[in-house]
A and B are shown apart, each in its own frame.
Chain A
Amino acid sequence: MSAIAAAPPLLTAIGHDAPRIDAIAKVTGEAQFAGDLRLHGMAYGRLLRSPYARARITDIDTSRAEALPGVIAVMTGRDLPAADPYYGHALKDRPILAIDHVRFVGEPVIAVAAESPAIADEAIALIDVACEELPAVVTIEAALAPDAPHLHDVVNLRPGLFHGLGDIHLEPGNVCYHHTFTRGEVAQAFAAADVVVEGQYTFPAVYQYSLEPHTTIAQWIGDDDLTVWSSCQHPFLVRAELADLYALPVAAVRVVVPYLGGGFGSKSYTKMEPITSALARKTGRPVRIANSVDEAMVTTRRHGMKAWLRTAATSDGRLLAREVRAWFDTGAYADNGPRVVATGADAAPGPYHWEAVQVDAWGVYTNTSPAGSYRAFGASHLQWCGELQVDEIARRCGLDALQIRERNLLHRGESVRPGGKPLDADLIGDIRRVSAGLDWETPKPAGIVGRGMSVGLLAAGAHPVSTAIVRMEADGGATLLVSSTEVGQGARTVFGQIVAEELALPLEKVRVLGGDTGVTPYDRSTGASRSTTIAGLAVLRAAADIRSQLLAIGSRVFDLPQEALTARAAAVWHEGESVPYPDLIKAHFGMVGGELIGHGEVRPERGSGSYAEGPVFWEVCIGGAEVTVDAETGRVTVNKAVSVADVGKALNPRLVEAQEMGGAMQGIGNALHEEMLFDETGTLLNATLFEYHVPSIADMPDTFVSNIVENADGPGPYGAKGVGEGALAGVAAAIATALADAGVPIDTLPATPERVWRALEAREVGTVNEGEARR
């Protein structure tokens, strides 16, 4: 095995812009998404959602709805057909439907199944729910007030199944998680500092907006056979939670994932599957629930955040210490909030040589819609705050943004956090590429123009457990079974390339199935830029297993040791002589037929794979921006965005670049446009795409410069590490630092025209809204 595994890869399929294997299906409209499926006898589910942020349900009358012709079932929180009605990734705090209490505007209260969506809508209008409205806490400040009502009895909440954060100990109140660490002597470092910059920052709640809203179909056969077709990123985690809800063995639940119309974290963990499966069980028929966009917006979102940071340095610009306190608004249910808090805390110091760091981050329940994952969580929240302070220190010390970073950034191999993975990237090389992309040394154009750069690290890869199976059919073609979800990132294409590479097959000979927990083997999740790195390595190993088998058969056919043989061009070779794969398989089975099955797995290389021992790799979140501010209107134009994809090895450069382009654009949205606005009653004010601005083609920067850095320093196949999140956090933070460079310091994102205009006005009257110098 070792001699074979050590053979250098030929790289015939890897490192090239292989065409997407799903492109034809998608461009012709033939690709099937969950909403395109119809099952025989399928009923349509609709939800009655709470108009109150916090209320006690006193009476429910469903009789008129039940009497409506075409209504099949009406389900309330009091008659859920589940063994355990509570679920939740980190904490089991969430009922399938509201039980006696509602905790946010939009919380599902009653589910109706009917013969058509229109009938289900009519039935919803016929339901009477009496509520006693209760005082609600819809902001972080209100939730943390001493007399605030508590959303949950947190002390008695049970932990979720797989959160991986160790024991979560909670005091009574609205805090669902607290992550804290101290390194070095913080007070001493601040006391010794020449320069201290301090500020408070606000980051908005953001809607992921995958174009396809959550869509789920559930079907029961008897009481112990559940199949769910769902737009989900983590089918195996969904399967486990559903099995837990119904007290079934995991194999009794099958989760099938069609093509996903985007995810970006909005389809991480369990979303609409518990309600849909409960309604199907109640109905005795397959049921589909398809969220509308306004429903998707209150199903999950990015955490809004308030933070206070201060940073200390010497007068010659050596960074000394940082102190961070951050409060993340997780809404009414924790979902993935504790992980978001932990990742944010990890990202808060920034990748610099610190003498001392103190970070405290809290997840806070509020009576608003639940928050969970969104691309680059944690880094997006805190990188821009810390980088603004680094730049402010540079200004006060007479350095520029590049100089202070060159002087202070961590080097490869240095510790990022005690006990975790050392730095596995060349940050100074990366930031120099950003400065080159920005033409850093050239004079800026006329007007109110700023240039900014930012760099950060994101704990990437999530939990490193993936498996894959490759089947080689008798005709020499291969079928790959792997459960990483194709969300649009191109996972199936890159996996296909890996199989093609390892088996020396043309890509057309490799078929990649979609995720189906009844067919494709275990993969923990699709997110945290992990698919290429971790699932890809399992794929590589499964394909290498087949190659070993082919060589072993070849060894018998040639009567030569395996070491004398090579696999290339769909055949096993000895010098000029070759036997094609189909002939080897025929020789193995003695007749035409049969197939070879290869298995690959990835487990943590050390320790338990826990969060503390991670990450699998550090994703470099780096970007640059040049902006122009319109003095009349406060409107910000991004003239140029720069990204650096530090990916180890680009298995498909065009797809890497596509991840950067898309991530950078979301960064522009997060920095300049996007903000979910809740009023004092906890109602989302901008619940349509009229009022919530998703960047369109008219919001593109004039120029986008993307760099791919290949240092073969990743733990994935051929030295690869993941991509996808870094550009979002990096470019968003660079826009913030560019605005500060333009003399328009912003402490609240998004930098809307109004906020920018007010910052310009404040500058005119000579007030400074950020930072405080001290000697």
Chain B
Amino acid sequence: MSPETAAPAKMHLKTTVNGRPVSLQIEPRAILLDILRDDLGLTGAKRSCDTQVCGACTVLLDGSPMSACCTLAYEAGGREVETIEGLAGPHGLHPIQQAFVDRVAIQCGFCTPGFVLATKAMLAEYPRPTRSEIEDFLGGNLCRCTGYWNILDAVAVAAGRLESANGRSEAS
């Protein structure tokens, strides 16, 4: 495509973001991260490495963690997008968020939304993850501040709380 050509034709994107329907005209080349941040004002997902290494832009697509910096927006068509802004409910923080707060698994906070969402996807698959499962699953999220210790701690606390909450709901 020559840069001097006119702006490319737009296409229609219908998706669901944090439970709400979204309908937008987008350029075919539009990146999901830009649509979320610039068009929808959801700036919790961050741009860092831009090469799918650091995980700062992690969002959930039908529950699976994706690097929004390397995902075309049209790939979200007809699917459920979940960002950090959708996680806390009317009664407060999600248990994973609360665990990150309680265990001080946060310093600068730039990686935090990505880590929280990746943890949510991990715990859905592995409710009691081993250290090696955590290393595999969260190896795609970088943190430069914490040395990861408090994040490991928060993951364990969140897993315990979610398990006991699920246990209660199954028992009832």
Contact = CB atoms under 8 A, between A and B. Distances in A.
Interface of A: 17, 19-20, 22-33, 35-36, 38, 68, 118, 122, 125-126, 209-213, 259-264, 290, 292-293, 487-490, 654-655, 658, 661-666, 688-690, 694, 696-698, 700, 704
B3 A68 contact: yes
A698 B139 contact: yes
Contacts of A27: 84, 93, 97, 100-101, 106, 109, 112-113, 116
B87 interface: yes
B138 interface: yes
A490 B107 contact: yes
Given A27-B93, A28-B97, A212 B46 contact: yes
Contacts of A36: 37, 43
B101 A209 contact: no
Contacts of A126: 3
A26 B53 contact: no
Contact of A661 (B50, B85, B146): B146
- A-side binding surface: helix, strand, loop or mixed? loop
B135 A697 contact: yes
B3 A261 contact: no
Interface string B142-166: 1111111111100000000000000
A670 to B, nearest CB: 12
A390 to B, nearest CB: 27
Contacts of B45: 29
Given A488-B145, A658-B146, A698-B139, A26 B109 contact: yes
A628 to B, nearest CB: 17
Contact of A28 (B88, B140, B152): B88
Interface string B84-110: 110110000100010011101011111
Q: Give the interface centre of B56, B112, B138 by most chain A CB atoms within 10 Å.
A: B112
Contacts of A23: 100-101, 104, 106
B76 interface: no
A489 B101 CA distance: 15
Contacts of B87: 28
A666 B144 contact: yes
A345 B141 CA distance: 37
A126 B4 CA distance: 9
Given A27-B100, A690-B53, A22 B109 contact: yes
A661 B3 contact: no
Contacts of B29: 118
Given A28-B97, A212-B110, A689 B83 contact: no
Nearest to B102: A19
Nearest to B108: A488
Q: Give the interface centre of A29, A290, A662, A696 by most chain B CB atoms within 10 Å.
A: A29
B11 interface: no
Contacts of B100: 23, 27
Given A27-B116, A28-B97, A211-B54, A259 B109 contact: yes
B112 A259 contact: no
A704 B153 CA distance: 13
B49 interface: yes
A293 B48 contact: yes
B107 A489 contact: yes
A259 B145 CA distance: 14
20 contacts: A17-B104, A19-B104, A24-B93, A27-B112, A210-B108, A654-B104, A661-B148, A661-B150, A662-B107, A662-B147, A663-B147, A690-B53, A694-B54, A694-B142, A694-B144, A696-B135, A696-B139, A697-B134, A697-B135, A698-B136
Nearest to B137: A697
A389 B38 CA distance: 55
A262 B147 contact: no
Interface in B105-123: 106-113, 116
A68 B150 CA distance: 50
Nearest to A36: B43
A668 to B, nearest CB: 8
B148 A33 contact: no
A488 B105 CA distance: 11
A662 B109 contact: no
B116 A698 contact: no
A488 B51 contact: no
B108 A689 contact: no
A292 B144 CA distance: 17
Given A689-B54, A696-B142, A211 B48 contact: yes
Contacts of A666: 144, 147
A658 B104 contact: yes
Contacts of A700: 147-149, 152
Nearest to B53: A689
Contacts of A33: 43, 46, 110
B44 interface: yes
A125 B3 CA distance: 9
A697 B144 contact: no
Given A488-B145, A696-B142, A262 B110 contact: yes
B95 to A, nearest CB: 12
A19 to B, nearest CB: 7
A213 B85 CA distance: 22
Contact of A689 (B49, B111, B135, B139): B49
Given A27-B93, A689-B49, A262 B145 contact: yes
A23 B111 CA distance: 13
Nearest to B87: A28
A689 B111 CA distance: 15
A231 B128 CA distance: 38
Given A29-B84, A210-B144, A689-B54, A122 B3 contact: yes
Q: Give the interface centre of B104, B116, B134, B146 by most chain A CB atoms within 10 Å.
A: B104
Q: Give the interface centre of B37, B50, B53, B100 by most chain A CB atoms within 10 Å.
A: B53
Contacts of A24: 93, 101
Contacts of A125: 3
Contacts of B142: 209, 211, 689, 694, 696
Contacts of B44: 28-30
Contacts of A658: 104, 107, 145-146, 150
B152 A488 contact: no
A212 B148 contact: no
B77 to A, nearest CB: 21
Q: Give the interface centre of A33, A262, A292 by most chain B CB atoms within 10 Å.
A: A262
Contacts of A263: 108
A290 B116 CA distance: 25
Contact of B147 (A19, A212, A665): A665
Contacts of A25: 109
Given A28-B88, A209-B144, A210-B144, A487 B150 contact: no
Given A35-B47, A661-B150, A689-B51, A212 B97 contact: no
A35 B38 CA distance: 11
A29 B85 contact: yes
Contacts of B49: 293, 688-689
Given A27-B84, A27-B113, A661-B150, 13 more contacts: A19-B102, A24-B93, A27-B109, A27-B112, A28-B44, A28-B93, A28-B97, A261-B108, A663-B147, A665-B146, A694-B54, A698-B135, A700-B147
Given A32-B43, A696-B142, A698-B135, A261 B53 contact: no
A209 B51 CA distance: 14
4 nearest CB pairs, A to B = A29-B44, A488-B108, A26-B109, A261-B110
A126 B5 CA distance: 13
B132 to A, nearest CB: 9
A775 to B, nearest CB: 45
Contacts of A293: 48-51
Contacts of A292: 50
Contacts of B112: 26-27
A697 B108 contact: no
A292 B152 CA distance: 29
A661 B110 contact: no
A505 to B, nearest CB: 22
A222 B100 CA distance: 45
A393 B4 CA distance: 69
